[in-house]
């Protein structure tokens, strides 16, 4: 993993078409601005991790019978 140290007001660009700006830092919270092409989905990492978790948990479903669930 590439590790960079940045200050508020500084930024990073990825492949020239994605820009990540460090807008402000307040204690343990960092505000980040991202500019990217419109067709690129941007989401918090927890969303991918949560979806990996739920997909895997879903595959472990017990055999269910909904008609008997009532």
Partner 1 sequence: MLIETRFGTSETDKNKIISFKAGLPGFEDLHKFIIIEANNTRPIYWLQSIENKHIALPVIITFAVLSDYNINIRENELEDLKVDSKNDLLILNVVVIPEDMKKMTVNLAAPIVINAKRGIGKQILIDAAELPIRYPIYEAIMESLKKGGEEDAGAVTESR
Q: Is 60 helix (H, G, I), strand (E, B) or coil?
A: coil
Of 15, 19, 17, whose CA–CA distance to 6 is shortest? Answer: 19
CB of 60 to partner 1, least distance (A): 9
- Candidates 3-11, 12-20, 23-31, 42-50; binding stretch for partner 1 (CB under 8 A): 42-50
Which DSSP category does 67 fall into? G
DSSP 3-state of 56: helix
Q: For partner 1, which stretch binds (CB under 8 A), given 2-10, 15-23, 25-33, 36-44?
A: 36-44
Residues that bind partner 1 (CB under 8 A): 38-39, 41-44, 47-48, 50-59, 61-62, 64-70
């Amino acid at each position: 993993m590439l590790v960079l140290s940045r200050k508020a007001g500084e930024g990073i660009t990825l492949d020239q078409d994605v820009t990540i700006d460090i807008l402000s830092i307040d204690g343990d919270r960092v505000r980040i601005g991202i500019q990217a092409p419109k067709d690129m989905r941007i989401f918090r990492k927890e969303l991918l991790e949560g979806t990996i978790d739920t997909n895997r948990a879903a595959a472990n479903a017990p055999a269910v019978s909904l008609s008997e669930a009532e």
